[in-house]
Chains A and B, each alone.
Chain A
Amino acid sequence: MAEKTFYQEYEVFSKRTPSSAFQHQFSLLAPNEDMALVMAQENFMRREPVADIWIVNRKHIRAMDAEEKLTLGRLDNKQYRTTKGYGYLKKKWRHYEQQMLDEKEILSWGGDGK
């Protein structure tokens, strides 16, 4: 009888390096959080580098049901929110002999910079 309530379900997240984002790995069963952390390493991180681990008891996760997932669908009429709606600028800038500052260009400014 004890076994029916022995394990709790945990979802495991980890990141490879200090600067990377957490990624969902898989789930596991453990009797408590400390064991869950140990099991997470044993089960999912035997080889690849790992910088941090989170374990989350499944009962604390509010997931979406199939009905709610339908609300995630998007209408294809939001180009004004994306760079796609401003793609025509490339041609305009070419007329003024300038390069367009696109995503690739702008995100490159954070580094040592050229």
Chain B
Amino acid sequence: MSNLTMMTEEEKLEQFVQRIEAGDKIEADDWMPEEYRMALIKLISMHGISEIMGALPEKEWVPKAPSLHRKLGIMAKVQDEMGHGQLLLRVAEDLLKPYGKNRGDLMQDLFNGDLKFHNVFHMDTRTWGDAGLIGWLVDGAAIITQTNMLGASYGPYARALQRICAEEVFHAQHGEAIIMALAEGTEEQRAMVQDALNRWWDALLMFFGPASKDTTGSSKQDVTIKYKIRTKTNEQLRQAFFDKYVPRILSLGLKLPDPTMHYDEENKVWVYQQPDWAEFKKIIKNQGPRSQERLNLRRTSYENNAWVRDALAATVS
């Protein structure tokens, strides 16, 4: 009954589904259906590379941060993001083993445009208000999606998220501190935050992805929910984000960029204007405002540091 080598593929799949249903954690060396492995690779490599690409717009603010304290804070955060990228790439690499691929291949996929990164990291950052807003609301949105997967059926991903989310708490408060200082500052500083919110609003809505695959032609949410990698749909996550953050945005005296937005008490949902999903498709195809600059930055640093990898490789017997 339990002899795995004697089992047919159908029996293995059946046992796999039973394990997931029972809340068991799947580990890297366990048998898993191809569909599950592929869904995880896509999700986790995109997540990992996005952490690294996300450090780029933030690092632009290290030299421009208004005080030494702020410089240290944002530098610590940039380092965390790279660390998160490391963790996630490790998880992705173990899944890629049967295909003989590693992070070098993922990096090439990124450069070729085969591996996407999160829409928000294709955008321009113009002021210190943007830096604060990213820390507060982009990280806030990321916390909503990441905590949704803390109970993921894939053990290594769940454990990585556990570490990541613990650090995200610091990130969230770091962003709040910047926004709070500006919101309690001069008229000009308050206007800076409002301007950042106005420009980032659509990107924040897009962050959770379209409500269904009808919008953009494909969506991974069904398969990730089926395999208990996540529990909530894109729209449920977006609504959870509104629940947590809209009251906070308003409490600071900021205005929602969407004047039609309101809470429908009867249906218990936020009613809001959809962002331009055609624009979203363009952005994630690396045709966003800063897509090419950021890819080039990553490409250049990867090429410039090749000699370090080569030099260290020589000491490996």
Contacts and interface: CB of A to CB of B under 8 A. Distances in A.
Question: Is B one of A's binding partners?
Answer: yes
Contacts of B316: 5-6, 8, 31-32
A43 B5 contact: no
Interface residues of B, number: 29
Given A26-B159, A26-B163, A31-B316, A43 B86 contact: yes
Is the contact region of chain A dominated by helix, strand, or loop, or is it mixed?
A: mixed
A67 B90 CA distance: 25
A51 B90 CA distance: 25
Contacts of A7: 102
Contacts of B14: none
Interface residues of A, number: 24
A29 interface: yes
Contacts, number: 61
Contacts of B104: 3-4
A31 B312 contact: yes
Interface in B72-97: 76, 79-80, 83, 86-87, 90, 93-94
Nearest to A42: B83
Taking each of B29, B159, B163, B313, which has the highest tally of chain A beta carbons within 10 Å of its own beta carbon?
Answer: B313
Interface of A: 2-8, 26-29, 31-32, 35, 42-44, 46-47, 63, 65-67, 70
A79 to B, nearest CB: 25
30 contacts: A2-B310, A2-B313, A3-B102, A3-B104, A3-B309, A4-B102, A6-B309, A6-B316, A7-B102, A26-B160, A27-B94, A28-B90, A29-B93, A31-B312, A31-B315, A31-B316, A35-B312, A42-B79, A42-B83, A43-B83, A43-B86, A43-B87, A44-B83, A44-B163, A46-B83, A66-B4, A66-B30, A67-B2, A67-B3, A70-B2
